[in-house]
Amino acid sequence: MVGAHKIGSLVFCPRCGTLLDLPKDGEVDVTCEQCGHVEPASSYENTEITTRSDPDAFPSALRQKRKTQTKLHESGDQGTLVNEKCPSCGALEAYSKEMQLRSADEGSTIFYTCVACKHGWRVNN
Ligand SMILES: [Zn+2]
Ligand SMILES: [Zn+2]
């Protein structure tokens, strides 16, 4: 998740760069007047505003929501679906991911994950 830019106690909109208003007491987010982006008030945590209440006072529902969004993003990175035979169960499709693990002149390693049984194996180029 892209956080807002912070300069001192100021928070700027991560989308259009507009200076955001301070959240009013009790509000859990701040809406950008320019583009409508909604920034969680927790972005103001650790800033130099001394009049705000303890950051831990924010509703736990907000933190929970942000965690879920991060998880969804990570699960979309399983690789490219290719036609490759699984040595374990014989399925003909697997997710492939190429990784440059060794030095460039030695080529790269492709990791496969079977779509059927989740068996993983690697092939060196
Ligand atoms: Zn904005
Ligand atoms: Zn398999």
Count of residues in the chain: 125
CA of 7 to the centre of ligand 1 (A): 16
Q: List, as one string, the DSSP characters of 7-32.
A: ETTEEE-TTT-PBPPPPPTT-SEEE-
Question: Which residues are CB-contacts of 69 (< 8 A; sequence separation ≥ 6)?
Answer: 1
Check whether residue 67 and residue 25 sit in a common domain: yes
Kindly state whether residues 88 and 71 are assigned to the same domain: no
Output the CA 69–ligand 1 centroid distance in Å: 20
Domain count, the chain: 2
Q: 38 lies in which domain range?
A: 5-75
Query: Does one domain contain both 70 and 94?
Result: no
Q: Which residues are annotated as a binding site for Zn(2+)?
A: 13, 16, 32, 35, 86, 89, 114, 117
Instruction: Compute, in angstroms, the gap from residue 3 CA to the centroid of ligand 1.
Output: 13
| In the predicted structure, residue 95 carries a pLDDT above the cut 90 | yes
- Looking at residue 103, its pLDDT comes to 66
pTM of the full structure? 0.37
Let me know whether 13 and 27 are in one domain.
yes
Measured CA angle at 34 (ends 70, 53), to 5 deg: 60
Exposed, middle or buried, 20 (CB in 10 Å: 0-12/13-18/19+)?
buried
- Tens of pLDDT along 8-50? 678 899 999 999 988 888 888 999 999 999 998 888 775 544 4
What's the CA gap between 93 and 116, in Å, rounded? 8
**Domain match, 89 and 69 both:** no
